[in-house]
Amino acid sequence: MKINGHTITATSFAFDGCHKIYLIESEKDLENARQTNYLIFPIKELEEIYHDSCPLKFINTWNLESIVEQGKEAIFKTLTEN
């Protein structure tokens, strides 16, 4: 999957149930997300949850690298698309 030109290798993501979405890239990220009571979802559900989230939504890595800035549009592509 690519989002706004970023190749996404994460297999899951953390979601606060409103607008905060964080890509989980390691076991340590996953452990930290669970400790802070985030909901954990498989990456295949990211696009749908993103589109259903409130307008303040953003996507970052758990380490706070910005993938989609707050309030900006996310363009999702499969790795086979250009």
In this model, does residue 44 exceed pLDDT 80? yes
Q: Find the DSSP H helices in 1-82.
A: 27-35, 46-52
Q: Is 7 helix (H, G, I), strand (E, B) or coil?
A: strand
pLDDT tens per residue across span 47-78: 999 999 999 999 999 999 999 999 999 999 98
- Please provide residue 65's backbone torsions phi and psi, each rounded to the nearest 5 degrees: -75, 125
Residue 80's pLDDT is 77
In this model, does residue 81 exceed pLDDT 90? no
**Domain residue spans of the chain:** 2-77
pLDDT tens per residue across span 12-36: 999 999 999 999 999 999 999 999 9
